[in-house]
Structures are given as structure tokens and as C-alpha cells.
Amino acid sequence: MMMGQHLLIECRGEHALLNSDQLEELMTRAARAGGATIIASHFHNFGGHGGVTGVLMLAESHITVHTWPEVSYAAFDIFMCGDAKPEKAAEVIADQFPNAEVSIKAIDRGYELGSTRNK
């Protein structure tokens, strides 16, 4: 039974330079585009190179980000279930900077009824 879809978004470029407020705004737009309901958010700024880690908790699961501005890399993670559309959320993130290198990998999450546990 498919429970949801998990998207891994790798970005090289300007995404990594966004501050926590800008990332929260981008991820909020992404969640809304995907039809998700935001429950809470939390973002943390790191010293040194100024990376950010953040999460939007969704009724449908989550969107997270980790940035490494010193190497122009940002990793977003979108997991949505129910009627949400994670691909629409990913489009918002990818389209933020048209010149950035963006890779999106999709994984269906769930299990088959009657399947056994791997040991």
C-alpha cells in the first residue's frame, strides 16, 4: 500500500545562500502549492559559514532543508501523503532559481499487505 511520496531535492547554487526567513518563506509556498497543511516550523542558523537547517511539520508529513553555503549546496526533503502533491511543492523549490542545478529523486513510501519484515 503506497502511503505517500518522498522527494529528495539536491540544489547547487543560490538556494544554499538563502537565510532562514527566506527558506521558511520558500518552503511555505512549496507546502501550499502541494496542498499541504502546515502545523509548525523550526529553523536553526549555524555559525561559521552560515548554514541553515529547518523543518516544516505538515499534517501530511514534512519538508526539511539543510544548507551548506560554503559549497553552494542545499538539500531539501519533501514527504507528503494523502491528497497532497509533493511534485507541485518540488516545482516551487526548483523554480526559485532557474539557473541553479537541481536534481529531484522520487521514492514511493509504503508497503505491500502481507509482506514480511526483513531481518
Q: 66 an active-site residue?
A: yes
* Residue 115, CA atoms < 13 Å, CB-side half-sphere: 8
Q: Which of 20, 81, 103, 115 is catalytic?
A: 81
Give me the half-sphere count of Cα atoms (radius 13 Å) on the Cβ side of residue 14.
10
Among 6, 11, 15, 61, the one annotated catalytic? 61
List Cα–Cα distances, 65 to 13, 48, 75, 82, 113, in angstroms.
Answer: 14, 18, 6, 22, 32
Catalytic residue (choose from 41, 62, 66, 72): 66
Residue 115 among the catalytic residues: no
Enter the C-alpha cell of residue 22: 527566506
Residues labelled as active-site residues = 61, 66, 81
